[in-house]
Chains A and B, each alone.
Chain A
């Protein structure tokens, strides 16, 4: 949208202060419990600097990066999901004192700015938009999501490193942020290359002590992002993925993965796109009012497949299969896009290190392709 500018590392504070001055609550990456999470910051000094994350299937470890950079850590367990689709919230209340009446409880929010969203996180938001905002793929707008969406200012960071579990390149979502951000930063040695992606972002730039970026800065940024892309070794082959998975629903690999899967739901909690939630009522102690709440749920729980006395997906193999076929295949039918953005969090945060790419590869390598009518569901092309 705009020509890139340069923000000196020493001036990074000005970005945080400019956002705060405009009324935003500002969140940025900080270390908590051994990983990076988004937490409240009032200045650059609050940011965690000098960390890289070493991510492997079932493992996440922060290490000293040997430099003072803020964003070399790549990512933590959190995407932008919880800022738009709240992990737990009250949808409405109902009171029975006298007349019964229902009252919606839309969040009354102070605008929020999140610094440090990655390209995969932006892709995750764009996927969730298809679920929660009315349009081609949804008949109804979720007013709670929409409200938060309108109040979120996103400062994206282009990745100049990849974790070993990253595969955004093969999902075509990163490592460069393409759209959906207000500002995008690329961290260089002594400065940040800054680009605006929205009018609000453009306006905010006017508050910052920027210098025009030189060609050499832009080249350095482009090369660093390209190097991050080149360093990714994980690739998810999505060729023919709907037919592949739905023609192999009785493949023995589902039994194999079920031996390793704990059905703990971690993968769905860290996934930027998983949208399942369940609803429940919480009655006030005096019995005069009740809150109707929703909270994140998961297809790995038994509650998810419960229907009056019966369990639709009683075995772990059913539940893992439900998750993977939905994420990578059924999602395309539902929303015209894959449910996977290649962030690799489900691989890192799986306690037993299950790698969905390996599962797909294993099925592809020994596919048994049940004949029609499965194949007819997803004609080639």
Chain B
């Protein structure tokens, strides 16, 4: 290769535009994006569980999971919590505003291994976002999967997002949705308590299926260990991880977790690969 040879540059964002911004809660919003270049748009494909790097002009990049339907890669949805400089800036974008997008990156949910199995999706807080495209994927291919149980926990009822989608899921065949809030309100009709306690009420047949989780690490570990006690196979538990990803391609080193890079070996991992290290503080 000569100095001028053209190598694909995995760090270079593509131009994208905001099609719509949906404000989910006070600090959570969904950005619906469309790649600007028609060719790039036509070539863009993703798998449920993968993520994009979104670049806010002059501020920086953040890794955000893709929540939309892989069958419609023209419109790429990202649900984001405004917590830092970049995400707070992204929250102010309006339809037509431009930003940078590169991706998709990483390894998503185990779609093939999940075929024909019951799927138990357990999420905490904004962890519902990375699992959403998996839920849609399965519901679009309803016959390919067994029963679907979505168990979603939030701290406070006000944190609940995707209420429209959740209603659609409730109406889908062989699909059960359990909502739980750490603290209830008079209007809250879901369970009150930790999402980890909700396993009590899940039909034990689901423990013969496959679990997919996303949420705070202690919550995922606690649920995973409980699932194992209830007879689920270790190899059937998968979780989506989060770290400070800056390059998204295994070069910047920030997302290392033992011998794994969350960005390229994950973000979805079989629990067996992470179990030992998740038990240690400081990795």
Report A's interface with B, CB cutoff 8 A.
Answer: 91-92, 94, 96, 100-102, 104, 108-109, 131-132, 138-143, 146-147, 150-151, 246, 249-250, 275-281, 283, 287, 290, 292, 294, 297, 299, 304-309, 312-315, 317-318, 321-322, 325-326, 329-334, 373-374, 376-377
- B258, B261, B280: the one within 8 Å of A250 (CB): B280
Shortest 4 CB-CB contacts between residues of A and residues of B = A333-B259, A318-B282, A276-B253, A330-B259
Q: Are B3 and A147 in contact (CB under 8 A)?
A: yes
CB-based contact B98/A309 at 8 Å: no
Is B11 interfacial (CB 8 A cutoff)? yes
Q: Are B242 and A279 in contact (CB under 8 A)?
A: no
B251/A140 in contact, CB under 8 A: yes
User: Chain B residues with Cβ under 8 A from A281's Cβ?
Assistant: 58-60
Residues of B near A250 (CB, < 8 A) are 280
Please name 16 further chain A to chain B contacts, defined as beta carbons within 8 Å, in addition to the given A92-B11, A92-B12, sorted by A numbering.
Answer: A94-B57, A96-B58, A102-B15, A108-B3, A109-B3, A143-B9, A150-B1, A276-B252, A277-B246, A290-B58, A292-B11, A331-B259, A332-B259, A334-B260, A334-B261, A376-B276
A147: chain B residues within 8 A (beta carbon): 3
Contact of B250 among A138, A249, A326 (CB under 8 A): A138
CA distance A287 to B15 in the complex (A): 19
A142 touches B58 (CB 8 A): no
In-complex Cβ contact of B3 among A91, A151, A287 (8 A): A151
Chain B nearest Cβ from A93, distance in angstroms: 10
Question: Any chain A CB within 8 A of the CB of B163?
Answer: no
**Are B251 and A138 closer than 8 Å at their CB atoms?**
yes
Residues of chain A within 8 A of B81, CB atoms compared: 308
Given A92-B12, A318-B281, is A279 in contact with B58 using a C-beta cutoff of 8 Å?
no
CB < 8 Å neighbour of B254 from A138, A304, A321, A332: A304
Q: Does B166 contact A (CB under 8 A)?
A: no
**Overall SS of chain A's interface:** mixed
> A143 near B7 (CB under 8 angstroms)?
yes
The answer, yes or no, to whether B41 is at the interface (CB within 8 Å) is no
For A312, what are the chain B residues with a Cβ–Cβ distance below 8 Å?
A: 243-244, 282-283
- In which size bucket is the chain B interface? 35 or more
- Interchain CB contact under 8 A, A102 and B242: no
Do A100 and B57 have beta carbons less than 8 Å apart? Answer: yes
Residue contact A91 to B84, C-beta cutoff 8 Å: no
Known: A100-B57, A102-B14, A308-B83. A246 touches B253 (CB 8 A): no
Task: Give Cα distance in the complex from A102 to B7, angstroms.
Answer: 16
Which residues of chain A are within 8 angstroms of B260 by Cβ–Cβ distance?
333-334
Selected contact of B9 from candidates A104, A151, A246, CB within 8 Å: A104
Sample (15) of A-B pairs whose CB atoms are under 8 Å apart:
A96-B57, A100-B57, A101-B15, A104-B9, A104-B12, A109-B3, A131-B250, A138-B250, A140-B251, A142-B251, A275-B253, A279-B60, A304-B253, A305-B244, A321-B282
Instruction: Tell me if B204 counts as interface (CB < 8 A to partner A).
Output: no
Instruction: Decide: A307 near B250, CB < 8 A? Known: A91-B11, A141-B8, A334-B261.
Output: no
Q: CA of A143 to CA of B280 in the docked complex: distance in angstroms?
A: 36
How many angstroms from the CA of A100 to the CA of B83 in the assembled complex?
25
- Say yes or no: is B184 at the interface (Cβ < 8 Å to chain A): no
Rounded to whole angstroms, the CA-CA distance of A299 and B264 in the bound complex is 19
Q: Mark B243-283, 1 if CB is under 8 A from A, else 0.
A: 11011011111101011110010000000000110001111
Contacts of B8 in A (CB 8 A): 140-141, 143
* Cβ contact of B253, chosen from A139, A140, A297, A306, cutoff 8 A: A297
Decide yes or no whether B231 CB sits under 8 A from chain A.
no
A276 CA to B247 CA in the complex, in Å?
10
A278–B246 touching, CB < 8 Å: yes
Cβ–Cβ < 8 Å partners of B2 in chain A: 150
In the bound assembly, the distance between CA atoms of A297 and B8 in angstroms comes to 24
For window 1-41 of B, CB contacts with A under 8 Å fall at: 1-3, 7-15
Q: Check: B153 CB closer than 8 A to any chain A CB.
A: no
**A132 CB contacts on chain B under 8 angstroms:** 251
Q: Shortest Cβ distance from B12 into chain A, in angstroms?
A: 5
Cβ contacts B47-67/A at 8 Å (1 or 0 each): 000000001011111000000
- Say yes or no: is B124 at the interface (Cβ < 8 Å to chain A): no
Chain B contacts of A292 at CB under 8 A?
A: 11, 55, 60-61
A279 touches B61 (CB 8 A): yes
Residue of A whose beta carbon sits closest to that of B102: A102
- Least CB separation from B250: chain A residue: A138
Asked if A330 contacts B258 (CB within 8 A), the reply is yes
Contacts of A314 in B (CB 8 A): 282
B209 close to chain A: CB less than 8 A: no
Whether, in the assembled complex, B100 has its beta carbon less than 8 Å from a beta carbon of chain A, the answer is: yes
| Chain B neighbourhood of A306, CB < 8 A | 244
Please, which residues of chain B bring their CB within 8 A of the CB of A278? 246, 252, 254
